[in-house]
């Protein structure tokens, strides 16, 4: 029996590439006339998840007995007809393997004649170099198709270069000469590997989708002559993996994906999940098999291959390896040479110290083993010669403690072998900094028991956790509280200070990568490494616990669970929330509210009488439905179409009322359509509408809604008395920067932080919990000059009395760090207030694609009322597969049907694509069309501007196929794509110097957009690059790389006239959009608009989108928008050269 080398893979790949370049299509070999050896029988034997169990132990039979079973089959069918394979996790798990870093295991594998193996996640436990050493030692190849080199810096775009220690596939000939088949063996490794091993071990590698990886190589394997395709998989038998929040599938799904792609495997040999199958699981015609773990079973697959027809049949059975069965003498002797190795025996029997008590693990709580290990590290670091590694607390994951030590006699000798069994991974001790708030988040994560309770030293905590059997993520309520830290000087236990920076120690698996789901460890800074954690434990044990004074620790309550999974004294109040829906009620190309409602109902079911539903604003503006039905309360659509009574409730209000919201706050976009729409729509809300920092002198009419500063909600508790929860609404103070004064008459927007501080204390005194429901944005954005400190993080840090902040406005994605999350890696976040009370902040992204959840845990006070003791939260993403709620869908569908009629209305044709993709820095026909249409619409309504200045309303493109020969039809939906925002037209009278100031700012936008990475922190929208209508031209002097100097505008001409930028007496009627006029898009100095608002002569409620629709309808034939030289940029060199020549 022979196997092909890497050269085979390389040669086939080259041939395949050459064939594709030359246009040669591979043709399958035609069946030949049947011959006696066309039907070949071969046998595949396989094991998985052996975990270094070379010696017998308990139910594990040892490799000598596995070898005996393998040899019996080889004898029965002929050794040349048998191939032996392994599906990963060969080495890590026992002393005899671990102390030799797997060398002993690979030595035995070599002797047993393994033909190939794939990598399990545990192959990476000792780092990349050890892995390479073991691969070099092996006489067999390691195959994995989905591990590649990260050659682009982004795994989403990485190529297919295999790492230097593996190859994606091999071919393997099996059978006697003249009676052979060729097996194509492809490997795949679980994509979770980077998350469940130390980060450095997989640095520079990407783990691609397994099915896609097999499909990528499938034809090449076939072209190399494979008669049967065998997949060695370390994915696990079923879907789900370790539950890290991303989609991970198992072997059954893998088989289906390959079948659906027309690239079926003849056999999938699995591992990872330690599944004990009694028969093969058939997925289509693909058998999926696995052979338990630790050598307890050997899988046997007997393949019959008809080489003439290509048919492959597989008969599979499991062979039980009896723990009392015969042993192969040669393998037994070889294992004994390792176990009798003098160094090994000295190491495992080396006495370290003694214990008088059992050291036992408790995965989900306090344990003597956890206390023993963590206290040893705590003391070792704090008593050595250097203060650089002194720590306040120590953390270890329960899964990292791998064995108990029972005191068979007192004192029990603690040998290196026993302690190595507890800490076998060789992880270094990491020392670094974390804030108290981050530690609170960490212990909240521990309270979920997702990967067990964090074992601790130097810190104590209590936690509660409630779960049930209902659908949805578990637990449904959880949280850590009463966290105290040991004062090393006094020995006293002091409350955790949320704004204090603590020195922590943990293992390098947990930090800084945040493995095992303990993501707050990603916040660790100033990290340093202090050797193998086991060495630290042994140093302390050897000097502290001699035979005369053995360890005698007891459980001290450092980890205390309050209650059980089903009940406890902590009363949980669940807060479900979302923000910035901007319409998006119906499911379409993206998710919709009909699906979000499903998750709301799912999560409500866990805690039906104590769940609040809140919304943080920007609900009634943003898409075609919100625009069309803005006038629904008047009985008409936006185009004047009469609406039936059932559709005269605004669709957003209809949906929210059906879901029974408890409160919502006003977003800045609620003001877009003016006060009549604001009042008529918001009056239809059954839930209280909130904004404390909103004042009206009576002209706007907020009292008609009414808009209230807060509401108090009563949450029932039949034992200790009802819980009172106050919800304080805080709106966006920058509305005057987004809206013209004429659109918000009578309104003022006081400072949000000051307002919250005035209300929070008052509300806290009469309520048990206070929630700030805000539309401020999550945190300050250093990259933006338009975001101030009136944000949620600042509100939390500066205000007492608030327990939770539920926010919106910034569209902050809670799943990752973005410009809108600042220094925070994810949400929710914990921030300490001035009284050292934690405040939890959560946002739910936008567009109904995320459900946010905050859970407050309360305990009754001795004096009456309740105290919030725990605050935790999460987010749940809505996916396209999330079912739609039938009740809400039934409400939304009639609105959709009527809207579709409007959206599908044909408005005209175009001979050219309407393109504003590059409108940030140059003229586009899309921006030109919008400018021309704006002048048309104004003129039709008796408002005649001299010219119009505005940029494109978005960077979109429609009618891509349009040509003069074949014009494209335009419908209303196209207009919503080009102009998704509600920008109304305004005209003001402006003189030359004022125009110059505005145009100089437009040039600054152009400069920073084109030449400065990150755009200098300025707002970045196509609207900010001013264009002009037909007959006009703006000429700029492009002085790059020099900064804008205030003299970059050379001229503005319109209808043959040139504006004199020095003339203060000549005024021009200039139209623009309200967004720009208010000073947005960087057209302001310290919040004061550059557009002279006191010179407005006509503030219309005419919208750019409607203007374009009307303009196109008014044309006799198709429109032909073009780039006409309306924007000109003269390089500084060409501008000055003529003067130099003179």
> Among 512, 542, 561, where does a domain finish?
561
Nearest-angstrom CA–CA distance, 459 and 34: 76
Tokens of 585: 């009620």
Would you say residue 713 lies in a domain? yes
Phi, psi of 918 (to 5 degrees): -105, 20
Note the pLDDT of residue 390: 97
DSSP string across 754-778: HHHHHHHHHHHHHSSEEEEEE-S-S
Per-residue pLDDT band at 740 (split at 50, 70, 90): confident
Note the pLDDT of residue 719: 80
Together in a domain, 473 and 549: yes
Together in a domain, 786 and 649: yes
Per-residue pLDDT band at 35 (split at 50, 70, 90): very low
Would you say residue 27 lies in a domain? no
Would you say residue 577 lies in a domain? yes
pLDDT average, residue stretch 682-687:
98
Together in a domain, 324 and 364: no
Under 8 Å between Cβ of 1098 and 1020:
no
β-bridge mates for residue 914, sequence order: 958
Lowest pLDDT segment from 124-128, 338-342, 360-364: 124-128
Note the pLDDT of residue 53: 93
Judged against a pLDDT cut of 70, whether residue 715 lies above it is answered with yes
Together in a domain, 255 and 117: yes
Number of structural domains, the chain?
4
Would you say residue 28 lies in a domain? no
pLDDT average, residue stretch 468-497:
97
Q: Exposed, middle or buried, 745 (CB in 10 Å: 0-12/13-18/19+)?
A: middle
Note the pLDDT of residue 920: 97
Under 8 Å between Cβ of 225 and 498:
no
Together in a domain, 1040 and 948: yes
Note the pLDDT of residue 7: 37
Question: How much is the mean pLDDT over the chain?
Answer: 93
Phi, psi of 1005 (to 5 degrees): -55, -50
Judged against a pLDDT cut of 70, whether residue 543 lies above it is answered with yes
Would you say residue 584 lies in a domain? yes
pLDDT average, residue stretch 537-558:
97
Per-residue pLDDT band at 58 (split at 50, 70, 90): confident
Judged against a pLDDT cut of 90, whether residue 425 lies above it is answered with no
Would you say residue 10 lies in a domain? no
Per-residue pLDDT band at 4 (split at 50, 70, 90): very low
Together in a domain, 464 and 423: yes
Place of tokens 């976040």: 829
Which runs of E-coded beta strand occur in 322-421? 351-355, 393-396, 412-415
Note the pLDDT of residue 1134: 58
pLDDT average, residue stretch 562-566:
97
Whole-number percent of the chain with pLDDT over 70: 95
Judged against a pLDDT cut of 50, whether residue 1141 lies above it is answered with no
Whole-number percent of the chain with pLDDT over 90: 87
Together in a domain, 851 and 912: no
Would you say residue 557 lies in a domain? yes
> Among 276, 309, 339, where does a domain finish?
339
Together in a domain, 932 and 881: no
pLDDT average, residue stretch 214-240:
96
pLDDT average, residue stretch 284-292:
97
Which runs of E-coded beta strand occur in 4-118? 39-47, 82-86, 116-117
Together in a domain, 552 and 589: no
**Residue 280 CA to chain centroid, in angstroms?**
36
Under 8 Å between Cβ of 758 and 800:
no
**Residue 991 CA to chain centroid, in angstroms?**
51
- CA triple 637-643-646, angle to 5 deg: 125
Together in a domain, 303 and 357: no
Q: What is residue 1139's DSSP assignment?
A: H
Phi, psi of 284 (to 5 degrees): 65, -125
Torsion (CA) 468, 399, 481, 497 in degrees, nearest 10: -150
Q: Residue 297 sits in a domain of what CATH number?
A: 3.60.21.10
Per-residue pLDDT band at 220 (split at 50, 70, 90): very high
Judged against a pLDDT cut of 80, whether residue 170 lies above it is answered with yes
> Among 339, 372, 404, where does a domain finish?
339
Note the pLDDT of residue 63: 98
Q: Give the length of the chain.
A: 1142
Together in a domain, 335 and 393: no
**How do residues 988-1026 score in pLDDT, each as one tens digit?**
999 999 999 999 999 999 999 999 988 888 889 999 999
Would you say residue 4 lies in a domain? no
Note the pLDDT of residue 914: 98
CB environment 133-165: b (16+ within 10 A), e (fewer)? bbbeebebbbbbbbbbebeeeeeeebeeebbeb
Provide the pairing of β-strand 947-950 with 1067-1073. parallel
Q: Residue 429 sits in a domain of what CATH number?
A: 3.90.780.10
Domain holding 414, by residue range, is 350-561
pLDDT average, residue stretch 112-141:
96
CB environment 348-387: b (16+ within 10 A), e (fewer)? beeebbbbebebebbeebbbbbbbbbbbbbbbbbbeeeee
Together in a domain, 177 and 125: yes
Judged against a pLDDT cut of 80, whether residue 242 lies above it is answered with no
Note the pLDDT of residue 785: 55
């Amino acid at each position: 029996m022979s196997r092909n080398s890497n050269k085979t893979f390389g040669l086939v790949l080259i041939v395949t590439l050459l064939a594709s370049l030359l246009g040669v299509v591979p043709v399958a070999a035609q069946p030949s006339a049947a011959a006696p050896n066309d039907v070949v029988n071969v046998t595949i034997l396989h094991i998985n998840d052996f975990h270094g169990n070379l010696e017998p132990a308990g139910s594990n039979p040892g490799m000598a007995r596995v070898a005996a079973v393998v040899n019996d089959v080889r004898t029965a069918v002929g050794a040349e007809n048998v191939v032996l394979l392994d599906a990963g996790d060969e080495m890590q798990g026992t002393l005899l393997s671990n102390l030799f870093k797997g060398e002993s295991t690979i030595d035995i594998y070599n002797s047993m004649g393994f033909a190939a193996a794939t990598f399990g996640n545990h192959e990476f436990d000792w780092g990349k170099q050890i892995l390479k050493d073991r691969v070099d030692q092996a006489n067999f190849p390691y195959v994995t198709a989905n591990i590649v080199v990260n050659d682009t810096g982004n795994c989403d775009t990485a190529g297919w270069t295999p790492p230097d220690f593996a190859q994606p596939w091999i071919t393997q000939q099996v059978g006697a000469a003249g009676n052979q088949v060729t097996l194509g063996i492809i490997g795949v490794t679980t994509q979770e590997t980077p998350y469940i091993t130390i980060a450095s071990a997989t640095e520079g590698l990407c783990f691609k989708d397994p099915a896609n990886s097999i499909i990528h190589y499938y034809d090449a394997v076939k072209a190399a002559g494979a008669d049967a395709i065998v997949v060695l998989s370390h994915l696990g038998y079923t879907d789900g993996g370790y539950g890290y929040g991303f989609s991970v599938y198992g072997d059954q799904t893998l088989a289906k994906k390959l079948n659906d792609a027309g690239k079926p495997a003849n056999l999938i040999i699995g591992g990872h999940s330690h599944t004990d199958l009694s028969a093969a699981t058939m997925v289509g015609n693909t058998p999926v098999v696995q052979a338990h773990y630790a050598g307890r079973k050997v899988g046997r697959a007997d393949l019959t291959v008809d080489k003439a027809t290509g048919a492959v049949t597989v008969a599979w059975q499991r062979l039980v390896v009896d723990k009392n069965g015969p042993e192969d003498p040669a393998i037994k002797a070889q294992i004994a040479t390792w176990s009798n190795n003098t160094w090994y025996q000295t190491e495992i029997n080396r006495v370290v110290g003694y214990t008088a008590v059992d050291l036992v693990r408790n995965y989900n709580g306090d344990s003597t083993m956890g206390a023993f290990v963590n206290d040893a590290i705590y003391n070792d670091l704090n008593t050595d010669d250097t203060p650089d590694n002194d720590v306040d607390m120590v953390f270890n994951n329960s899964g990292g403690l791998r064995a108990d030590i029972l005191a068979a006699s007192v004192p029990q000798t603690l040998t290196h072998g026993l302690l190595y069994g507890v800490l076998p991974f060789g992880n270094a001790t990491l020392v670094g900094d974390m804030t108290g708030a981050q530690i609170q988040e960490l212990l909240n994560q521990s309270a979920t028991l997702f990967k067990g309770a964090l074992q601790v030293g130097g810190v104590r905590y209590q936690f509660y956790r409630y779960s049930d059997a209902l659908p949805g993520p578990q637990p449904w309520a959880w949280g850590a509280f009463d966290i105290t830290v040991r004062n090393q000087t006094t020995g006293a236990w002091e409350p955790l200070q949320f704004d204090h920076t603590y020195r922590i120690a943990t293992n390098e698996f947990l930090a800084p990568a945040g493995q095992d789901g303990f993501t707050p460890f990603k916040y660790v800074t100033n990290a340093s490494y202090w050797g193998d954690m086991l060495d630290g434990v042994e140093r302390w044990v050897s000097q502290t616990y001699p035979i005369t004074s053995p360890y005698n620790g007891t459980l001290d309550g450092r980890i205390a669970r309050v209650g059980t999974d089903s009940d406890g004294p902590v009363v949980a109040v669940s807060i479900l929330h979302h923000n910035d829906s901007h319409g998006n009620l119906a499911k379409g190309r993206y998710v919709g509210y009909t699906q979000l409602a499903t998750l709301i109902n799912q999560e409500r079911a866990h805690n039906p009488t104590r769940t609040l539903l809140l919304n943080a604003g920007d609900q009634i503006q943003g898409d075609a439905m919100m625009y069309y039905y803005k006038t629904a309360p008047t009985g008409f659509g936006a185009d004047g179409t009469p609406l039936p009574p059932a559709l005269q409730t605004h669709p957003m209000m209809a949906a929210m009322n059906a879901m029974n919201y408890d409160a919502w706050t006003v977003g800045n976009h609620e003001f877009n359509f003016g006060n009549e729409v604001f009042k008529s729509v918001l009056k239809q809300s059954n839930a209280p509408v909130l904004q404390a920092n909103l004042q009206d002198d009576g002209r706007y009419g907020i009292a008609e809604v009414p808009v209230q500063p807060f509401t108090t909600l009563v949450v029932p508790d039949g034992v200790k008395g009802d819980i009172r929860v106050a919800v304080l609404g805080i709106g966006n103070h920058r509305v005057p920067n987004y809206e013209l004064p004429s659109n918000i008459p009578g309104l003022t927007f006081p400072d949000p932080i000051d307002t919250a501080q005035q209300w929070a204390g008052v509300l806290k005194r009469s309520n048990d919990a206070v929630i700030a429901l805000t539309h401020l944005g999550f945190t300050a954005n250093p990259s933006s000059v338009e975001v101030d400190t009136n944000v949620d993080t600042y509100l939390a840090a500066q205000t007492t009395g608030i327990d939770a902040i539920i926010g919106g406005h910034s569209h902050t994605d809670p799943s990752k760090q973005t410009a809108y999350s600042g220094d925070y890696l994810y949400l929710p976040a914990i921030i300490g207030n001035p009284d050292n009370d934690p405040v939890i902040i959560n946002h739910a992204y936008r567009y109904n694609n995320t459900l946010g959840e905050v859970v407050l845990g309360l305990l009754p006070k001795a004096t009456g009322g309740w105290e919030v003791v725990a605050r935790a939260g999460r987010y749940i993403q809505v996916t396209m597969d999330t079912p739609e709620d039938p009740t809400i869908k039934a409400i939304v569908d009639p609105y959709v049907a009527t809207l579709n009629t409007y959206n599908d209305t044909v408005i005209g044709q175009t001979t050219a694509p309407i393109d504003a993709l590059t409108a940030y820095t140059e003229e586009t026909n899309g921006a030109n069309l919008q400018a021309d249409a704006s002048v048309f619409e104004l003129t039709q309504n008796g408002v005649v501007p001299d010219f119009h200045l505005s940029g494109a309303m978005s960077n979109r493109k429609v009618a891509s196929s349009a040509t003069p020969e074949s014009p494209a039809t335009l419908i209303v939906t196209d207009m919503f794509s080009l102009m998704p925002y509600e920008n109304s037209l305004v005209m003001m009278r402006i003189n030359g110097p004022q125009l110059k100031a505005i145009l100089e700012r437009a040039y600054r936008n152009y400069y920073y957009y084109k030449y400065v990475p990150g755009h200098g922190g300025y707002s970045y929208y196509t609207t900010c690059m001013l264009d002009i209508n037909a007959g006009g031209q703006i000429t700029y002097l492009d002085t790059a790389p020099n900064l804008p100097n205030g003299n970059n505008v050379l001229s503005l001409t319109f209808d043959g006239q040139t504006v004199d930028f020095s003339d203060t007496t000549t005024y021009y009627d200039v139209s623009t959009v309200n967004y720009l006029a208010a000073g947005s898009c960087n057209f302001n100095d310290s919040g004061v608009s550059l557009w002279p608002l006191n010179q407005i002569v006509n503030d219309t409620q005419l919208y750019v989108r409607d203007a374009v629709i009307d303009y196109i309808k008014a044309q006799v034939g198709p429109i032909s928008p073009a780039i006409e030289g309306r924007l000109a940029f003269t390089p500084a060199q060409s501008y000055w050269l003529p003067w130099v020549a003179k």
